[in-house]
A and B are shown apart, each in its own frame.
Chain A
Amino acid sequence: MIKAIINEIPVEVPEGTTILEAARKVQINIPTLCKHPDLTASAACGLCVVKVRKSRKLLRACCTPIEEGMDILTHDPEIVSTRRTVVELILSNHPDDCLTCGRNNNCELQTVAANFGIRTESFHKFVRDIPKDDSTGSIMLEPSKCIKCGRCVEVCQQIQDVWALSFLQRGFHTRIAPAGDIKLNESPCVKCGQCSAHCPTGAIFEQDDTVKVWRALQDPEKYCVVQIAPAVRVAIGEAFGMAPGVNLTRRLYALLRRLGFDAVFDTNFGADVTIMEEASEFVERFVHKKGKLPLITTCCPSWVDFMEKFHPDMIPHFSSCKSPHEIVGVLSKTYYAKEKKIDPEKIVMVSIMPCTAKKYELTRTDEMFASGYQDVDIAITTRELARMIKQAGLDFAHFPEEDADHILGDYTGAGVIFGATGGVMEAALRTAYFLVTEKNLGKVDFMNVRGLKGVKEASIMIDSTKINVAIAHGLANVEYVINRIREAQKKGEPMPYDFIEVMACPGGCIGGGGQPYGVTDEIRLLRSKGLYQDDQEKSLRCSHDNAFVQKLYNEFLGKPLGKRSHELLHTEYKSRPVYSR
């Protein structure tokens, strides 16, 4: 432990703690626009400067580790004046269109400017006219609003290992863009949206599709159905000042009905169906040796895109099963439409997702039109739904609770944990156990696949057979797992794993690129806790026990991996070389 003094208050912190973190321990917030708890300090903004006795220069609190006996001053007239000037300088290089900006009221720069009480602009306005990039349809790049904090570049390169974003040019002309100054959709971007979730301003933003949703809801000819992803329910409350991890499932059902949706479904039901297919697929490959092992999950469209671009040799290992919301989508326009005798052409399926890549997934391949129509019409993120609720004037905090609509709305505990890293694996293991042994597990919790460790490896016993699994989240962590597979392939050794789950975003979907701002590991853990709690409280915790899933198979699909399942619930992958133009 290191002892130091901050503003005459003694602090004791572990070695390696930065001045910024240590100051928070004694209730002092040092302003910063570039440091994010997920990322290493880039030291770009210059706001966090502090004085250290005996040091001639001001030091950056974000990246200076505290040293024994340091005597630190975080606020004095000179420091505050320096910060103020820096904020003014940043404002002089930033557009003044706060009122029409997507980050209005939710912008870190705006907050800092408000805190410093800047009332006049003392400097010449140099706002650069750089065109927007909306080429992906998922993420909008607006470089003129960029303050060059470097968070997006760091998260894209270091956390996600995608390297779609970089800095171009230098000095005053520095800007973010894909390397080579191409469009984002021509770059290796996998649309995970982590850049947008980490951007302190409105420079990177989810493509806003709320207008499309309003238009559908107002069209009397349309039959609007909606589904919410598992991770949305434990995070959307944050946009309304509630604590992270509070489970708002039943309140969301009621809200969505009030917004005008004709039927409210749950992606968790689709997750249960996914498990029926994927667990069967695993058993096919593992027990009956049909197909390659390890089996790799494919619920995450960013991961699918990443794999197609960077690791196409893994395609044979991929589960062909679609992601849960696509499954609910296709079933709503086939099974549900048939049951309720609705013309599927009139159905508009809206997915509420924690994810920006789901927008891309909607038209990813021809299989996304398996119903004969686009299976899911619109995907909006948690952040977009929060805006819609506010726009509609609905009082989230005091809203009543309701249930989802049947046949595509009921779920088990296995379905809801899909939103956390390790959840798909855990849900699949519960059902795989049943499929292999025809017995239900006594204890369904697999604690060793949970948690925020980048790569989790575990061995699970099904009766007397050992299954080796790996779970990776945050795309940079995938490399390790894939390299182990490739090495085993090369050496002709037995595969290190039988089953692998990958989620692109750190923490899984609860940390998705479309979730409310300000995520940290602490918040990721709270959101996951909310999901695991929901699982715990469910009477049914295995997908195959879901009565409506059983009904679906009995009355419509037949059996898992059957002909109709294949037509509706499965997809294909193809190699897409990076930087194809």
Chain B
Amino acid sequence: MDKKVFIKDTSAGAKDQTRDFYTAFIDQLRQRKLENSVQLIRVADIGVYNQGIVVRITPDDFLYGHVEPKDIPRIIDESVVGGKRIDSLVCHHVSKQFRIVLRNCGVIDPENIDDYIAADGYQALAKVLTEMTPEQVLDEMKKSGLRGRGGAGYPTWMKWKMTRQAQADRKFMICNGDEGDPGAYMDRSVLEGDPHSVIEGMMIAGYVIGASLGYFYIRAEYPLAIDRIQKAIDQARERGLLGEKIFGTSFSFDLDIRLGAGAFVCGEETALIASIEGKRGYPRPRPPFPSVKGLWEKPTCINNVETLANISAILLRGGDWFSAIGTDTSKGTKVFAVTGKVKNSGLVEVPMGTTLSEIVMDISGGTASKKRVKAVQTGGPSGGMIPEDFLNTPVSYETLQKLGSIMGSGGMIVMDENDCMVDIAKFYLRFCVDESCGKCAPCRIGGTQMLNMLEKISDGTGVSDDIPRLKRVSAAMQNASLCGLGQTAPNPVLSSLLYFEDEYRAHIVDKKCPACRCGALFRYAIIQDKCVNCGLCFRNCPAGAILGDKQSGYTIDEDKCTKCGRCFEVCRLNAIFRG
């Protein structure tokens, strides 16, 4: 079998060297005329972090860390050609991760169906089509306890069952790939890294619900994902895995792609359906649920990418295997996109029940600044802030909800002491206001009013009444908004008020931003006692706000200061005051 070499620069913070390393590696391969027999693949995620440039060689499964360009000839000669492990380079990283969804990402070539098939691909489909009735599949799915990974956590088997039970001449299967939460990219990674697993999940779901056509709804900002899904569909069709009478059974199924034009709300299932139908992406009231009346008024099942990537693994290894992973109510694993002030940002797949602390501190290495974690934001713009005190919480749908946040699609943003909670809440709320479709009044106007209040608070013009007013509008939005976007948009504000109300009060009453983020509420000044008139701040100030010279000393002109913090960073004597 041909050798494959996967490479990824896992060092945090510094410039990604993967591309240069790749070029050097391919040059060496060419010199040895190996470029056609060895496949070199750059991957976005290789499963380990902070191990410098990491190289994985398959099928031998050698994993090398902290690889330098000078090691390339050795690796090619001894490992790739020779098939021997170089012990001095072996990466001893032990991961707390457990990969089901991402099992193939970074391991197989996503543009080659044979790679997927070699990794047990389409075997679950074969088993389902030739050995199992739809009811048996439903039983297995029920046993697995898999719940929707798009955010709401609705049991997948129930969604399938309801669509299966609906009577109609046609039914549709839809894969929701309209991933839009800021900082979330797990669906993109799966679509790009393991497209066939999602296709296989779609087909199994189509078999169970009785659909013969499925749509991928993928946001247009994911061109590589779209390209790879299209290639995967074409390859599957070529192999007879899509089309008429699959595996010689009476089951026929085909797939098509529809692109999302960049509206966040189109991730909401009824708006998504409207979008596929060519209408304005407005949500509509439920019931009727899509399982009864969905696309073109026909029963439709919509599953998220990550949900679908779990399906073939579950059916190949059994529902019991899957349900043994995770907690009582949340089974299996969850992929999180850990970003923010964290040392190793990236995708993390862990069993449900893993604590936030394990994810943030152990796997992702804590904060890059070595400052304390102030809070972790989960669930994207619909989620909430979880303060440091609760980092030992095991992650599950229920525990996160209890803390005022949600699992959501798995975005996880880590904040340190330099982050202002009002500012963060404002960021998320602004996202929801920008993305509100404008159909229902509570979301359209409520969001705008809340954002206006937060802007006032961070400008120092907030009043004490703003806090109860924020809570009142939040309640109205939660109760009266039509879709999930409006109902959950106040969550970041409410959860930050729950845990960090003092910080709001500091903004409103003391007119101070404790984290020094809200420009109107803190200032920079030069502490004359500490200043040695070196002029470093003067030379670095991009706004020309530092006045004076080496003889007479320096002062900051507050009118000109843009609060960029450059002087604070460059001063070696801590002679800049901030607060």
Chain B residues with CB under 8 A of A171: 433-438, 444, 447
Let me know if A172 and B433 touch, CB within 8 A.
Answer: yes
Chain B residues with CB under 8 A of A263: none
A126 at the interface (CB under 8 A from B): yes
Question: Chain B, 424-458, contact with A by CB distance < 8 Å: what is the 0/1 string?
Answer: 00000000011111111110111111001000000
Contact (A174, B479) CB under 8 Å given A42-B439, A43-B285, A150-B439: no
Let me know if B287 and A64 touch, CB within 8 A.
Answer: yes
- Chain A: residues with Cβ within 8 Å of the partner, total of 41
Let me know if B449 and A170 touch, CB within 8 A.
Answer: no
Let me know if A148 and B444 touch, CB within 8 A.
Answer: yes
Chain A residues with CB under 8 A of B449: 89, 92, 123-124, 126
Contact (A172, B436) CB under 8 Å given A89-B473, A92-B449: yes
Let me know if B285 and A82 touch, CB within 8 A.
Answer: no
Chain B residues with CB under 8 A of A147: 441
Partner of B482, one of A43, A81, A82, A124: A43
A529 at the interface (CB under 8 A from B): no
B370 at the interface (CB under 8 A from A): no
Let me know if B436 and A60 touch, CB within 8 A.
Answer: no
Q: Chain A: interface secondary structure?
A: loop
Chain A residues with CB under 8 A of B442: 46, 86, 89
Nearest CB of chain B from residue A18's CB, rounded to whole Å: 10
Q: Chain B: interface secondary structure?
A: helix
Question: Chain A, 311-355, contact with B by CB distance < 8 Å: what is the 0/1 string?
Answer: 000000000000000000000000000000000000000000000
Chain A residues with CB under 8 A of B479: 49, 57-58, 78-79, 82
Chain A residues with CB under 8 A of B287: 64-65
A144 at the interface (CB under 8 A from B): no
Nearest CB of chain B from residue A32's CB, rounded to whole Å: 11
Let me know if A174 and B476 touch, CB within 8 A.
Answer: no
Let me know if A148 and B452 touch, CB within 8 A.
Answer: no
Give complex CA distance A49, B433 in Å: 22
Question: Chain A, 169-181, contact with B by CB distance < 8 Å: what is the 0/1 string?
Answer: 1111110000000
B84 at the interface (CB under 8 A from A): no
Q: Which of A37-86 contact B (CB under 8 A)?
A: 41-47, 49, 57-58, 60, 62-65, 78-79, 81-83, 85-86
Question: Chain B, 466-489, contact with A by CB distance < 8 Å: what is the 0/1 string?
Answer: 000100110110011110000100
A90 at the interface (CB under 8 A from B): yes
Let me know if B285 and A64 touch, CB within 8 A.
Answer: yes
Let me know if A90 and B438 touch, CB within 8 A.
Answer: no
Chain B residues with CB under 8 A of A106: none
B280 at the interface (CB under 8 A from A): yes
Nearest CB of chain A from residue B291's CB, rounded to whole Å: 16
A122 at the interface (CB under 8 A from B): yes
B284 at the interface (CB under 8 A from A): yes
A93 at the interface (CB under 8 A from B): yes
Nearest CB of chain A from residue B178's CB, rounded to whole Å: 15
Interface centre among A46, A57, A60, A172, by most B CB within 10 Å? A46
Give complex CA distance A170, B263 in Å: 10
Some 20 contacts from A to B, beta carbons below 8 A apart, are: A46-B476, A58-B479, A81-B472, A81-B476, A82-B475, A85-B473, A86-B476, A90-B445, A124-B449, A148-B438, A148-B441, A150-B439, A166-B280, A171-B434, A171-B435, A171-B436, A171-B447, A172-B445, A172-B448, A173-B438
**B-side interface residues toward A, CB under 8 Å?**
263, 280, 284-285, 287, 433-442, 444-449, 452, 469, 472-473, 475-476, 479-482, 487
A-B pairs with lowest CB-CB distance, top 10: A174-B438, A46-B480, A85-B476, A43-B285, A171-B436, A63-B285, A89-B445, A82-B479, A46-B442, A58-B479
